[in-house]
Amino acid sequence: MSAAAAVQGDVFDRAGQQLAERLNPIIVKEVRQGLRTRVFWVFFSLMLFACLVISLVAAAVADGVGSDGKGFFFAYFLCLGVVQFFVIPYSAYRSMAREREEETWVLLTLTGLGPKRILRGKMGSHMLQGVLYASACMPFLLFSYFLNGIDLPTIFSTMLLATGYQLFLTAVAVSTATLAESRLVRGLLHFLLLGFLLWGLITGLTSSFGLVEAGRSLFGTGPLWLGLGGGWWAIVTWGVLLYEAAAARLSLPTESYAIGYRLTFVVQVLGALGLAVLGAVSASESGVLFVASLVLLGHCLVVGLFIASDRDGMAKALRLKKMPWLLKPGGLRGYVLVVLTVLLLSGLALIGFTSLGGTEEHLAEVMLAAPAFVVIYLSLPVLVTRLMPHPPFMTAGLTRVLFFIILILACGGPPLFSALLVDKPDAVLPNLLNPIVGLINLGDGHGGAAGLAAPWSMAALLALATVNVLWRNDGASAHAREPGRA
């Protein structure tokens, strides 16, 4: 028996060694270090002890005929949520920030792994810790099912959403750690992240409580299932997008750093639109596509600003490399990719809206005009920044600051001018290019032909001017660039 056990042990040992060699070495290193830390064992023990106490209380008070399962499930989930939504993301932040503070990041990059694999290892190790916590807590969560009041789909859906939410919070934490260069900025970001994680903890627990309370009524209809799927898709893709952006920020100019976050952006938008189409078909409601298209266009404007504010040009090695033109670094290609995505999204949404019987003419006009406003307020800061003399490393920051200034002036200036001039803040003519009042006027049927012609004419003019300036700058910036993008 001992010989057979020894042989079996050798087999498992060899399998473990082979798996460790194939895995990301950063994951192996971080998991080994993490499982030895006092923080892990303290919180792991506290979570199990709290779950044990709750179980003893449940065994004492539950009568088997009531609906105590919901309350006890949330009590168990509260113990797990504190760890998954606060402790683990904060530990990921400290792990990454320590590499920057102690200047060991350079040593990691010398291993040849690259920023993307290093960050993937950091995030993957903390996600594995989250899985370990969840595995330890899962028997207690399933125990609540036998107390009645909660069903298995609710339990598993809550855990699936919690895993995606942990991925998002961990990505935020790791991405934040890559932003800080000076001690002052690190201190400021540290406190901001603590506040964000506290807010994220409260939001995650509140959302889980609502999901548990809704229970079977929530899972009885297809559209609500799709809504949960859309929420999961949003938080997971945002987590991946933040990870790709952080990896791009730390990459060398000679690396193809733009591929990850640009592909993620396109897949995220088109996937969300696909879920919206399924929801609209399932509910037989074309208004779902109307709302989804406006939300996704706002998302494209914000994320597209970061993509289009990339510095001009790229390294010579990347110019000679065979790869899709839109996925190469540079502000020109980022801007064109965002504009094409906006147009594709709007076209598909409008086709779906009309195919599902959307007969509201004014809503269709809003869907037609909305992409023009996105192109206008994406193009203006990009164009103005390129026309202003400034050091190349300031391009991204200057573009984003100008965006917010222009957007505030465009939203607040025309209504104020209109109120002073004709005593009517929402007058049509002064607000033709107002991204909020202009769309509201179109939705109310007051925009007329000018409400569509004005934004599209301005969008076409600004897009041509922006592409022209970016093309010229891209040709003049053929040299390799310094780190510090997006």
Per-residue model confidence (pLDDT) at position 76: 94
pLDDT digits (tens, 9 = 90+) for 167-190: 999 999 999 988 867 778 788 889
d(CA 449, CA 432): 11
Contact between 295 and 227 under an 8 Å Cβ cutoff? The reply is no
Mean pLDDT of the region 477-481 = 50
d(CA 312, CA 178): 22
Max avg pLDDT among 303-312, 327-336, 375-384: 375-384
Name the H helices within 215-286: 222-250, 258-283
Mean pLDDT of the region 265-282 = 91
Interacting residues of 14 by C-beta distance below 8 A, sequence separation 6+: none
Q: Which sign does the torsion angle of CA 287, 291, 292, 296 carry?
A: positive
Checking if the pLDDT of 480 tops 50, the result is: no
pLDDT digits (tens, 9 = 90+) for 222-235: 567 777 888 899 99
Q: Which tokens is 376 given?
A: 């206008």
Q: Higher confidence at residue 78 or residue 484?
A: 78
Q: Which tokens is 191 given?
A: 């406190």
Q: Which tokens is 49 given?
A: 């002890």
Q: Which tokens is 415 given?
A: 């209504």
d(CA 399, CA 402): 5
Question: Can you spell out the DSSP letters for 19-30?
Answer: HHHHS-HHHHHH
d(CA 20, CA 18): 5
Please give, one letter per residue, the 3-state secondary structure of 272-331: HHHHHHHHHHHHCCCHHHHHHHHHHHHHHHHHHHHHHCCCCCCCHHHHHCCCCHHHCCCH
Provide the phi-psi class of 114: left if phi over 0, else alpha when psi is between -120 and 50, else beta.
left
Per-residue model confidence (pLDDT) at position 18: 62
Per-residue model confidence (pLDDT) at position 219: 62
Checking if the pLDDT of 239 tops 70, the result is: yes
Checking if the pLDDT of 342 tops 90, the result is: yes
Q: Which tokens is 53 given?
A: 């106490």
Closest CA to 288 of 361, 227, 369, 217: 227
Checking if the pLDDT of 485 tops 50, the result is: no
How many Cβ atoms are within 10 Å of 111's Cβ, its own excluded? Answer: 11
d(CA 90, CA 190): 10
d(CA 281, CA 358): 12
Mean pLDDT of the region 272-278 = 91
pLDDT digits (tens, 9 = 90+) for 95-150: 888 877 766 766 766 777 778 888 888 888 899 999 999 999 999 999 888 888 78
Mean pLDDT of the region 18-22 = 59
Closest CA to 197 of 93, 101, 100, 122: 93
In this prediction the pTM is 0.85
Per-residue model confidence (pLDDT) at position 482: 45
Checking if the pLDDT of 479 tops 90, the result is: no
Mean pLDDT of the region 263-288 = 89
Q: How confident is the model at residue 16 (pLDDT cuts 50, 70, 90)?
A: low
Per-residue model confidence (pLDDT) at position 363: 85
Max avg pLDDT among 28-37, 260-269, 313-322: 260-269
Q: Which tokens is 122 given?
A: 């950091």
pLDDT digits (tens, 9 = 90+) for 364-391: 888 999 999 999 999 999 999 988 887 7
Q: Which sign does the torsion angle of CA 143, 145, 149, 153 carry?
A: positive
